[in-house]
């Protein structure tokens, strides 16, 4: 496993549409593992392959709970319900946060790292993370959804 470079605001790849993964092989599994390691290094909740410069429909999410990292290949949202106003950030926009409205609940379908079909019913933060990461796959960024005037920069905390 390896930590990959996270593409940041202004990198044109973040606006590109990712391609469907045709075959889940060792290269895709290695990408997923690298993405989890990269996400954890930067204390992220989610990361899409486009954020590490790979235009594949691959995302990882970790709420740091008992479930552990979720690895999704070719994910799609098949159902949404309700709304929630959330504060959101992005590893590609370090220390920037904005308020936006996301679905309160989603149902997503994807393949796991073994090529098996999975369905995820999500609420709250997990629903938010799924929506955020799947937007990345279509070149959509959280700032595209932000409520006007809510983007703010937060100074990073100094390490002790």
Burial zone of 158 (CB within 10 Å; 0-12 exposed, 13-18 middle, 19+ buried):
exposed
Choose the catalytic residue: 133, 152, 155, 159.
Answer: 133
- Pairing between β-strand 58-61 and β-strand 46-48 as defined by DSSP bridges: antiparallel
Residue 32 in contact with residue 58, Cβ under 8 Å?
Answer: yes
Active site annotation includes 22: no
Burial zone of 64 (CB within 10 Å; 0-12 exposed, 13-18 middle, 19+ buried):
exposed
| CA gap 99, 75 in Å, rounded | 24
User: What residues act catalytically?
Assistant: 133
């Amino acid at each position: 496993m390896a930590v990959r470079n996270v593409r940041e605001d202004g990198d044109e790849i973040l606006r590109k549409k990712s391609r469907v993964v045709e075959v889940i092989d060792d290269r895709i599994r290695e990408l997923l593992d690298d993405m989890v390691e990269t996400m954890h290094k930067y204390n992220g909740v989610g990361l899409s392959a486009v954020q590490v410069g790979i235009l594949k429909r691959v995302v990882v999410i970790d709420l740091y709970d008992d479930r552990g990292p979720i690895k999704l290949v070719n994910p799609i949202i098949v159902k949404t319900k309700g709304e929630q106003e959330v504060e959101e950030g992005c590893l590609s926009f370090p220390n920037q946060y904005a308020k936006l409205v996301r679905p309160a609940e989603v149902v997503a379908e994807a393949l796991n790292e073994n090529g098996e079909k999975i369905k995820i019913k999500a609420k709250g933060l997990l629903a938010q993370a799924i929506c955020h990461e799947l937007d990345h796959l279509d070149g959509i960024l959280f700032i595209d959804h932000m409520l006007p005037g809510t983007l703010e920069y937060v100074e990073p905390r100094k390490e002790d």
